Amino acid sequence: MNSKAKRLIKLLLPLLLGVILVWYSLSKISISTLISYFKNANYLWVIVGVFFGVLSHFSRAYRWKYLLEPLGYKPRFLNSVMAVFSGYLINYTIPRAGEVTRATVLTNYEKVPFEKSIGTIVSERVADMIVLLLIIAITLLIEFDFIYNLLVDKFDTKKILLGLVVLIVLGGFMVVYFKKSTSKLAIKVRGFVEGLIEGVLSIFKMKHKWAFIFHTLFIWTMYILMFYVTSFSFEEIQPIPFSAILVGFITATFSIAATNGGVGSYPEAVVIAFLLFSLPEDPSRAFGWIMWSSQTIMLVLLGGVSLVFLPFYNKKQSTKPKTSH
């Protein structure tokens, strides 16, 4: 298979999966029932959730400067904000193209070399991955008894122990293999792991590391709060355990990578998580849709405004007279 065919598959597969999941989701709840939930939702909480989402994106744009300053670049904050929103918008059309868009905006309007800009975005992703893994670890600790009992109910204890032993043995084998093998795959995996470790260590070496860490934690706190407060818009799923919020948030976060912006996959990921906590299915699915819809509308609107406003803002800035110091 040539590279052109591979790119086409990578582009079409998430779109196809999204269409299938939208069809599947809407086959599980009638349009009229979904509309009824939307009509009866408390939109005050939806607006508060959107506000937390906007704060997280502004914080992401501000955090970016801590990675760019050591490289000798100080982009204007508004350009960073518009680059972030533009990137999110493009991700709804072409998977993973948002990062390229973000880097391109700074290249065009702030003269930051593309390879350096994209490098800082990769470093951001490393930091975000660490926090997400931390959230997963905290959730597993909080819900250890629940998860253990769930596994025991679903599977035989001996099979669980056997599965853990097999996973440990396989994990050990793969570590040894990727460490010693000279195959292209092993070299790529080693390079990825080494880059990941290097990225983590670079965070602690930067000048404003604590400010960077604060913004990283703030971004993910806003994400969780956005998910949490929006759940208050549906009385049918109240009171909702915070552990259900954490599990739902994690599954929904991973669903965004499955399809373009989580279309179709996001509501179903929420349903899968909420059903574990015996929450009603229809309101859970409706919540997933209103959560996804509110954030999508916000990103499409602000992303669209950013793409339109970027050239006008920078043209105006370039015509301003330079003051002497």
3-state helix, strand and coil shares in percent for the chain, rounded to the nearest 5: 85, 0, 15
Q: Which residue has the higher pLDDT, 258 or 318?
A: 258
What is the C-alpha to C-alpha distance for residues 187 and 225, in angstroms, rounded to an integer?
40
DSSP secondary structure code for residue 302 in this structure: H
What is the C-alpha to C-alpha distance for residues 206 and 63, in angstroms, rounded to an integer?
12
The predicted-structure confidence for 204-241, as pLDDT tens digits, reads as follows 667 788 899 999 999 999 999 999 999 999 999 888 88
Residue 294 pLDDT > 70: yes
Q: What predicted TM-score, i.e. pTM, was given to this entire model?
A: 0.83
- State residue 325's pLDDT score: 39
What is the C-alpha to C-alpha distance for residues 126 and 198, in angstroms, rounded to an integer?
10
What is the C-alpha to C-alpha distance for residues 231 and 288, in angstroms, rounded to an integer?
9
Average pLDDT, the chain: 84
Of the listed ranges 155-159, 203-207, 262-266, 285-289, the one predicted with least confidence = 155-159
Buried b (16+ CB within 10 A) or exposed e, 152-163: eeeeeeeeeeee
What is the C-alpha to C-alpha distance for residues 87 and 97, in angstroms, rounded to an integer?
7
Per DSSP, the chain holds a count of helices (H) and strands (E) of 13, 0
- State residue 28's pLDDT score: 87
Phi, psi of 321 (to 5 degrees): -65, 140
Average pLDDT of the residues in 274-281: 89
Q: Which residue has the higher pLDDT, 51 or 204?
A: 51
47 with 288: CB under 8 angstroms? no
* Residue 262 confidence class, pLDDT cut points 50, 70, 90: confident
The predicted-structure confidence for 1-48, as pLDDT tens digits, reads as follows 566 766 666 667 777 887 888 888 888 888 889 999 999 999 999 999
Q: How far is CA 23 from CA 16, 39, 90, 273, 289, in A?
A: 11, 21, 23, 20, 13
Residue 82: CB atoms within 10 Å: 25
**Residue 69 corresponds to which amino acid?**
E
Radius of gyration from C-alpha coordinates of the chain: 22
Strands annotated E in the chain = none
Residue 311: CB atoms within 10 Å: 11
Q: Spell out the domain ranges in the chain.
A: 44-311
Nearest CA to 119 out of 202, 217, 220, 3 is that of 202
Average pLDDT of the residues in 129-139: 90
The predicted-structure confidence for 158-197, as pLDDT tens digits, reads as follows 666 777 788 888 878 877 777 777 777 777 777 767 666 6
- State residue 159's pLDDT score: 67
What is the C-alpha to C-alpha distance for residues 257 and 265, in angstroms, rounded to an integer?
9
